Amino acid sequence: MKKQLLLLLFFFTISFKIFAQENRKFIYATIKDKIGAVSNAHIINLKTNQGTYTNEEGEFRILAKVNDSLQISFVGYKTTFFKVKIKNFGLFKNEIILEKEVLELDEIILKKHDLIGSLGVDAKKTPKDIGKDKSKSALDFSMIDFEKVVSTTVDAIDRSKAPNMQKQTDPTAKFAGVGGGFNSGPDKYAAEKRRVRKEIKYKENFPNMLISQFGEKFFFDELKIPKEKYHHFLAYCNSLNIEGLYKDGKVLEMLKILQQESISYLKIINSPE
């Protein structure tokens, strides 16, 4: 009888392990650092490519089975890998600790100089930047009165060169000098043009701003975006207004979108045609 019970217990144990390996169940865990819970940390099961995020208490759950590897990442922390074991299942809540990532500054080389520490004397020894002075003087418009209305009369002599059509078609120019000038208010067309140029410049600088703030490791190591596909990936995510979120200071929302969309993006570019 005892042998039968032992044999039955042995088969039950083997069957349970096989079942655990073939069928994934929820694993519950909490992400913390030295201070406390880490919210919005990104967790992905590298076997299934399924991901999730921690809540405000640093808690999460994800489907996994024995020997699955979970990748835990968050901006400013070292990426951690957690191998799932059979003891991690059940009502027991696992705890995973993240470590801060230390950023090292580039090496600075100090060159010998003959400065003595006196501003008046040292300023005379410092070579003058001629190019900077020339560019500064070229952009000095302090002597121009932008409020003054310019009006010219086109005659036979003036027709030898192309007139300034913006001045010639100014509807207020012909009233200059008759009871004072007439001001129609701000130039809406110029204001709109400045706004469009500013928007275009922001869009051009947006990829560089993201790399500068979050680093290449976040995009190319954690999100696994190929370097040559970086701009293409941002364009892929742009329909979700990542530029607007970053501009409005909603950085966490933007990071969530980048992390979520990176999964589907990688599936698309890596899928066989």
Q: What b/e readout covers 190-215, taking b as 16+ CB neighbours within 10 angstroms?
A: eeeeeeeeeeeeeeeebeeebeeebb
Q: In this structure, are residues 154 and 169 in contact, taking their beta carbons and an 8 Å threshold?
A: no
Close Cβ partners of 223 (under 8 Å, ≥ 6 residues apart): 258, 259, 262
Question: What is the architecture, at CATH level 2, of domain 21-97?
Answer: Sandwich (2.60)
| Rounded CA separation 21/141 (Å) | 75
Q: Does residue 52 have a pLDDT over 60?
A: yes
Q: In this structure, are residues 69 and 82 in contact, taking their beta carbons and an 8 Å threshold?
A: yes
In terms of Cα–Cα distance, which of 52, 82, 88, 54 is closest to 69? Answer: 82
* 3-state DSSP assignment of residue 30: strand
Higher pLDDT, 201 or 154: 201
Q: According to the model, what pLDDT value does residue 127 have?
A: 64
Instruction: Identify the band that residue 124 occupies on the pLDDT scale cut at 50, 70 and 90.
Output: low
DSSP result, 68-123: -EEEEE-TTB--EEEE--GGG-SSPPEEEE--BPPPPPPP-PPPP----S-HHHHH
H runs (alpha helix) in 129-241:
130-138, 165-168, 188-216, 230-237
Q: Does residue 177 have a pLDDT over 90?
A: no
Q: According to the model, what pLDDT value does residue 169 have?
A: 55
In terms of Cα–Cα distance, which of 271, 267, 210 is closest to 238? Answer: 210
Q: Does residue 111 have a pLDDT over 80?
A: no
The β-bridge partners of 52 are 43
pLDDT in tens, 57-106: 999 999 999 999 999 999 889 999 999 998 888 766 799 999 988 776 66
Q: According to the model, what pLDDT value does residue 203 have?
A: 87
Which pTM was predicted? 0.34
Q: In this structure, are residues 64 and 37 in contact, taking their beta carbons and an 8 Å threshold?
A: no
pLDDT in tens, 231-271: 999 999 988 999 989 989 898 999 999 999 999 999 999 88
* Mean pLDDT (whole number) for 155-177: 52
* Mean pLDDT (whole number) for 40-51: 93
Enumerate the CATH 2.60.40.10 domain ranges in the chain, comma separated.
21-97
Q: According to the model, what pLDDT value does residue 191 have?
A: 84
| Rounded CA separation 5/210 (Å) | 63
Written as six digits, the tokens of 139 are 């952009």
108, amino acid identity: I
Q: In this structure, are residues 34 and 23 in contact, taking their beta carbons and an 8 Å threshold?
A: no
In terms of Cα–Cα distance, which of 103, 84, 7 is closest to 44? Answer: 84
- Find which of 16-20, 35-39, 144-148 is predicted with most confidence, using mean pLDDT: 35-39
